[in-house]
Amino acid sequence: MEFPWEIIKQAHSLGLMNTMIPEKYGGPGCGNLETALIIEALAYGCSAIQLAIMGPSLALAPLLFGWD
């Protein structure tokens, strides 16, 4: 099985990736509720795709809250 790059690219172009990045840094600036709704909708369709799309967001916490 290959990684679903086309789906990932579409999710990125729709703003479904890195949802917690603030707008001032070029992200969509979604809050916790919006992000949870996106995660829920993606997982309803396919939990593996949801993990592939939202998994990298786990690395954002040190970047967003580590300094400023």
Q: Is 22 helix (H, G, I), strand (E, B) or coil?
A: coil
Instruction: Give the tens place of pLDDT for each residue, 21-57.
Output: 888 888 888 999 999 999 999 999 999 999 899 888 8
Tell me which long-range contacts 2-7 makes (C-beta under 8 A, separation of at least 24): 3/52, 4/49, 4/52, 7/49, 7/52, 7/53
Residue-level pLDDT at 27: 85
Residue 49: count other Cβ atoms within 10 Å of its Cβ: 15
CATH of domain 5-65: 1.10.540.10
Contact indicator for 19, 35 with CB cutoff of 8 Å: yes
Closest CA to 27 of 62, 67, 35: 35
Domain boundaries, the chain: 5-65
Instruction: Give the tens place of pLDDT for each residue, 4-25.
Output: 899 999 998 998 888 988 888 8
pTM above 0.85, yes or no: no
